[in-house]
Amino acid sequence: MTATRQRLGLILSLLLYAAAVSAPLRSAGALADRSGCVEAHAVVIQLLMLAGVVGGLAVGAPAISGVQRALQAMMPGADAAQRAGYLRGLAWALILLSAATNALWVAPALNMALDAQRALLVEADVLLYAMGVLAGIGWHALLDRDGWLGLLLMPAMALMILSSGVIGRGWC
C-alpha cells in the first residue's frame, strides 16, 4: 500500500469514526436503548468497529512488518513457516477478540449505563475503534492485499450474532 493510500485510509477511518460518534447517531442509539431495542446501537457500534478496521488495514503493512521483525528476534530457532504460523494464530486471536468485544456492547443495559456516563461512553467508543484497528491489522496479516474482505466479513459475523442471538429485541 502506498503512502497516499495509507493516508487516505486513515482519513476515511477518521471520517467514519466521526460519523459513528456524531450527535444524530448517538441520540438515535440512546433513544433505542431507552426503549430496550438493540439494533440501532448495534449498527453504531458496527460502524465504530468498521472505522477501526479501515484504520487497521491502512497501517497494517508497517505494523505487520514490525511484528515480523520482533518475531524473528524472539524466535531465533524457528523457521519462516513457524513464524508465519504464529503470526496467523495471533491475527485470528485479534479478530476473534474484536468480534467478542463487538458482541459485548449489544446489551441494552450496558448501553444505557454508558449513555448515562459520558466518560464511559467515550471510553467505549475509543475501545471499540481500537479493537477495530487490531482486527484490521489481523485481517491484513491473514489476507494481505485481500484484507479489505475483512470489511465485509466482520459485519457479516456481527449480523449473524444479532440475527440469531438477540432477534427478540431487534428494531422494536
Q: Which residues bind another protein (CB under 8 A)?
A: 14, 17-18, 21-23, 26, 69, 71, 73-78, 82, 86, 89-90, 93-94, 97, 101, 107, 109-110, 113, 117-123, 125-127, 129-130
Rounded Cα–Cα distance for residues 90 and 92 (Å)? 5
* Shortest distance in whole angstroms from residue 107 CB to another protein: 8
CB nearer to another protein: pick between 23 and 156: 23
Rounded Cα–Cα distance for residues 163 and 170 (Å)? 8
CB nearer to another protein: pick between 107 and 151: 107
* Shortest distance in whole angstroms from residue 4 CB to another protein: 18
* Shortest distance in whole angstroms from residue 8 CB to another protein: 16
The full DSSP string for 22-38 is SHHHHHHHHHHHHTT--
* Shortest distance in whole angstroms from residue 131 CB to another protein: 8
> If DSSP codes are grouped into helix, strand and coil, which group holds residue 59?
coil
* Shortest distance in whole angstroms from residue 98 CB to another protein: 10
CB nearer to another protein: pick between 14 and 161: 14
CB nearer to another protein: pick between 16 and 37: 16
Residue 130: phi and psi, rounded to 5, are -60, -40
Rounded Cα–Cα distance for residues 27 and 113 (Å)? 14
Rounded Cα–Cα distance for residues 122 and 14 (Å)? 15
Q: Do 139 and 57 meet the contact criterion of CB atoms below 8 Å apart?
A: yes
Cell 503493512 locates to 61
CB nearer to another protein: pick between 75 and 172: 75
